[in-house]
Amino acid sequence: MANFASRTAQLRCFRQYLCSRAINQCSSTQSSHPLRFCDHFSSQSIIPLRPGIQTLMMHHRYLCSATAKPDSGEGQNSGQSSDTGKAVRGGPVSWLSFFLLFCTGAGLVFYYDKEKKRHIEEINVASTAVKEGPSAGKAAIGGPFNLINDEGKNVTEKDFFGKWTLIYFGFTHCPDICPDELVKLAEAVDKIKAKIGVDIVPVFISVDPERDTVEQVHQYVKEFHPNLIGLTGTPDEVRKASRAYRVYYMKTEEESSDYLVDHSIMMYLMDPKMEFVKNFGKNNDVDSLTNGIIEAMKKYNH
C-alpha cells in the first residue's frame, strides 16, 4: 500500500512537470501562431483523463511536433518574402543608380567640352593680342669686336657699317661641316646679287686662333669666294666676339696637334648698322638660305 502511494505521488509529480513544460513551449509560439496553437490545444488535451506515463509522453511528443512544424513553414515563407522584398527593392535602386551615373557622366563631358572651348578661345585671343601688339625687340646678338683680317689689318664691327653682312664662325681644319656651310654661303651671296642686285659681304670668323694664323685663314677663305673676308685674332678677342654672337665652341681632346673644335653651326645676317636681323642654321639649303635672306631684307626696308 505504501509502494502504491509513493508511485502515485511520483506519477503526479512527473505529470505536473510535463504539463508545465508543454505549456511553456506552447506559450512561446502563441504570439506568432495563435490559431494553430488553439487548434492543437482544442483537439488534444494537455492533461490526460487517466494517469499513465505513456499517455503523458504521447501528448508531450504531439505538442512538440505541432509547435515545430509551423516554425519550419514560417521560416520558408519568411525566406521567400525576404527574397521577394529584396528583388522588389533592388529593381528601382539599380535603375536609379544607373540613371544618376549616366547624368553625372554626361555633365562631366559637357563641362570638359565647355572648358576646352573656352581655353582654345583664350589662346586665340592671346595670340591675336600678341600679333597686334608692339614688337618685343631684337635679339641680343652681335656687338663690338676687334680682330685681324686675312690681310693682316685690324678691323672692328664699324668697318662693316653701311653694308649687309653674312657672318659664319668656324675653323680652317674643319673636315666637312665648315666647307659645306661656306660653299652654301658663297652660292647664296651670288644668287642674291643676281636676283635683287645687292652685294652682301660674306665673313668667316675663326674659333681656332692657335692654329688659324692670318696666312692660314687667307688661303682658306679664297678657296670658297673671292669676296669672303676671313677674321682671326688672339684667343681673348676671339672669345669676346664669339660671346657677343652667342656662339659656342670648345676643343676636343688634344691627343695631337690635329685636334677638332666643336662649335655652333649658324649664319648671322646683320643689317647695315651691324645689328642682328636673322640667323640661318644647317638645315637650310642654298635656295632656302637665299630666299630667307631676301625676305628678311625686304621686311627691313619696309
The pLDDT score that the predictor gives to residue 137 is 57
The pLDDT score that the predictor gives to residue 264 is 92
The pLDDT score that the predictor gives to residue 15 is 57
Looking at the DSSP bridge assignments, the partners of residue 230 are 204
Q: What is the CA radius of gyration of the chain?
A: 55
Q: How far apart are alpha carbons 75 and 193 in whole angstroms? A: 108
The pLDDT score that the predictor gives to residue 17 is 59
Q: How far apart are alpha carbons 31 and 48 in whole angstroms? A: 25
Q: How far apart are alpha carbons 153 and 210 in whole angstroms? A: 18
Residue 45 identity (one-letter amino acid): S
> Which cell goes with 93?
535602386
pLDDT in tens, the chain (302 residues): 444 455 555 556 555 655 565 555 545 544 444 444 334 433 444 444 444 444 444 444 444 444 444 444 444 444 444 444 444 444 555 777 777 877 888 878 777 677 767 766 665 555 444 343 344 456 789 999 999 999 999 999 999 999 999 999 999 999 999 999 999 999 999 999 999 999 999 999 999 999 999 999 999 999 999 999 999 999 999 999 999 999 999 988 666 667 899 999 999 999 999 999 999 999 999 999 999 999 999 988 76
The pLDDT score that the predictor gives to residue 109 is 78
The pLDDT score that the predictor gives to residue 125 is 57
Measured CA angle at 6 (ends 4, 47), to 5 deg: 90
Does the reported pTM lie above 0.85?
Answer: no
CA 111 to chain centre: 20
Q: How far apart are alpha carbons 165 and 153 in whole angstroms? A: 18
Q: Give the residue from 172, 177, 179, 169 showing the smallest Cα distance to 145.
A: 169
Q: How far apart are alpha carbons 34 and 149 in whole angstroms? A: 125
Q: What is the DSSP string of the chain?
A: -HHHHHHHHHHHHHHHHHHHHHHHHHHHHHTT-HHHHHHHHHHS-SS-SS--HHHHHHHHHHHHHHHHHHHHHHHHHHHHHHHHHHHHHHHHHHHHHHHHHHHHHHHHHHHHHHHHHHHHHHHHHHHHHHHHS------S-----EEEETTS-EEEGGGGTTSEEEEEEE-TT-SSHHHHHHHHHHHHHHHHHHHH---EEEEEEES-TTT--HHHHHHHHTTT-TTPEEEE--HHHHHHHHHHTT--EEE---SSS---EEE--EEEEE-TTS-EEEEEETT--HHHHHHHHHHHHHHHH-
